Structure 1
Amino acid sequence: MKQILIWSDNDLERQITGEILSAGLDEVQILHADGAEQALATLEKGGVDLFVADIPQFSLAKCNVITSAQNLAPDSPILVISSGEQEHVSRNIWRLGVRDYLLKPCRPAWILAAAKALMGKNSGSAPQPEADDSRRKRYLNRLMEQLRGFQYKKCIQTTREYLDLLYRDGDNVEAIRNEVVDFAAGIAELGAPFGQAVQWKLNRCLEQFRVRFDRQGRKYESYLTLETMLDMMFEAMEESNFYEVEGGQKILNFIDRNVRKGLSLDEAAEYASMSSCYFSKFFKKLTGQNYIAYVTDGKIELAKQMLLDTDMPVINISYELSYGETNYFSKAFKRKVGVTPTEFRERNRKAGDQSSGC
C-alpha cells in the first residue's frame, strides 16, 4: 500500500484533498500533517510515496520546508498545490527544483492525474525503458537538424511521427504523460540559441503544459502544444537577421505555418513580394504543384489527424480548417482520400478495434 502525505495548514483543504485521493486511487494510505514539523518528521521516517504540499502563498518559511523535505526524502516526489499567481508560483517552483505543481482552482481529475503520474514515475516496478529514452533523444536530434535547416514542415512531420509511435506503442497513460512532457522539455531546450525572450516563452508554454495533466493524455492536444513551441522558434528565426534562409524555403514555411487559416494565393504572393500571377508560376516551379492543391493537401492531412485523434465533430473540423461550408470540406476530403470524413473516421476506428482484439 502506497503512502501519500498531505501537508496543509487548512484543515478543510487537507481533508478535501485526502478524500479526492483516497476515492480515486487504489490501495493508498493518506497521512495528514497540519504543520511543517509534523510533515518533516513523517518524511524522515521514510516510506512516503508522494508528498502533497498545499501552499496558498509562497514565503521563505514555506520554501525552506520544501527544501528540507527534498533533503530528508530525496526519493519522494513532491506535488505543490497553490492559489498564488502563476508567474510567482512558477518562479518559486523553478528555484526549488520542484517539477510538478497545480494552481487552484483545480479539478479533482487533475489532482488524481498528477498523483498517478508522480507515483508511477517513482515506482520501481515500471522503470522507463532505456529504449524510450534513446528514441526521444534520436527524435530531438532530428528536430535540431531540421531547425538548423529552417524546415518547418519536416519538424512538424517528425513531431507527429514521434507522437504516433509513443501513443501507439504505449499502454501506460502515466508513462505516456511523462514521456510527452520530457519531449516538450527537450524542444524547449532547443530554443536556447534564440535568446532569452524566446526561451522565456518556451518555458512558459512548457510549464502550462506540465500542469495540465488532462492535456498530456490526449494525443492531439499534446501535438498542438508541441506545434506552438515549434512556431515560436520559427517566428524568432524569421525575425532574426542572423539566420539566412533561401527564399523558397522561407515562403513554404510561411504557408505551412498558416494552413489552418485558409491563406489565399494573393496573401501568399504578398508575403513573397510578388504579383499573384508571377507567384503562381514560381510556386509551381518550386513544388511541382499548384498553390491550391498544395494548401488543400496540407488541410486534408490536418483533417485526418483530427478525425483519428479527437472526437471533434466534422463540422467543427471544417471550421477549424477555414472551410466556409461543411459540404465543401467533405467533398474536398473525398476527392483526396476516396471516402467522406465520417467514413474515414469509422473505418479507421473499426480497424483499430480489430487490431486490439476488441
Structure 2
Amino acid sequence: MYHILVAEDEPWIRNSVVEMVNRIGEGTITVSEATNGEEAWALIQELWPTVLITDIMMPKMDGLSLIQKIHEHDIPMMYIIISGYDNFQYAQKAIHYGVTEYLLKPVDMDQLREALGRSEQRMGNLKEISSYMSRFQQLVDAIGENAPQTINRKMSDLIDSVLKLKYINPPVRRNLLRIFEWKISGMVKELSPGQFVPAIPADADDGAILRYFNQLADVLIMHVAEQSKSNTNHIIKRVCDFIHTHYKKDISLTEMAQYANMSISYFSAWFKKCTGRTLVQYIQEVRIEKAKELLLETQLKNYEIAERVGFATQPYFTRVFKSSVGVSPNMFRKRMGS
C-alpha cells in the first residue's frame, strides 16, 4: 500500500480526483487532500506521500513552486500534474523536476488509472524509502505518549537500520538521514523559535550519528513536554465547535490553522495528537453523524443529504458513509428506522 496526496483548490475537482483514486486503488492506496500548495507542503512533512497529484494554479503556493520545494529538499516522490489547457505549457516546465505525467482537466478516470500505473512502475525503491519515513513519523507522533527511554531506543533502532543502508544504497542512506534531521530540527524550532539546532557533523561516524539523533530526540521530547503543560483544552474545544457549526463548508487546513493561531504544519500534527484523527477524518465523522440524523429523522433522498452535510457528490458520500458505518445509507435507514 502506498499514499497519495491530492492538492487542488477547486473542491469539486479535488473531491472527484480523490474519489477516482479510491476507486482505482480498491484498498491498496490511501489518499489525503490539500486545498492549496502551503497545505500540501505541510502535509508532505507529516504524511510522506509516495505520489503527489497537484494542480498547477493554486493559491498560497502554486503546483510548480510546490514541486520545486520538494525537489530542493530531496524528498523522494512521484508527481502527476493536472492542469487546464491554458496552463499546459507552463505545467511542462516541471519536466526539470522529473515530472512525466500530465493530465488535462476535466480528469478522465482511465487516463488517471494509466498515469498511476506508470508511476507505480517507476517507483523503484520509493516504497522502501516510504516505509522508513512512515516508521520515523510514527516515532515522532509517539513523543509525549511514550517514555523517553522508549523513544530513544526506537530512535536508535531506526537510525541503525538506516545506517546499514550504506552497504547497499549510500544515496538513500544520506537522504533519509538528512530528511530526518530536517524534520526534527523544524519541529524543535516550531516549538521553540530561536532555538539553535546543530547540524550533523560532516565527518561523523556511525556512532556519532546515532548519538546526534538521540540528542535531537531528547531536545524534542523536552519541548513537547513543556508544550503539553500549557492548557490547550480551550483551543481544541473552539476548533471542534467551529467544525460542528460549519461542517457544511469546505473547511481547509489553512483556515483552521489560522483560527487556532498556529502554523499549518504544527496545527496538523497538534490536531491529530489532540483528537486522534486528521482534520479531514474529523470533519468527515461530523458529517456522517449529521447524515445519520437526517436519514432517521427525514425522508430526504441520499443526494439531498449528501449536499446538506457537505459532500460534493452522492457517490463520494455513499462510499465514505459505508466505510465509516459499515453499511450503505439506504441499509442504515432501513435497519435503524424500523
Question: Which TM-score band applies after superposition, normalised by the shorter structure?
Answer: 0.3 to 0.5
TM-score normalized by the length of structure 1: 0.31
Q: Which has the larger radius of gyration?
A: 1
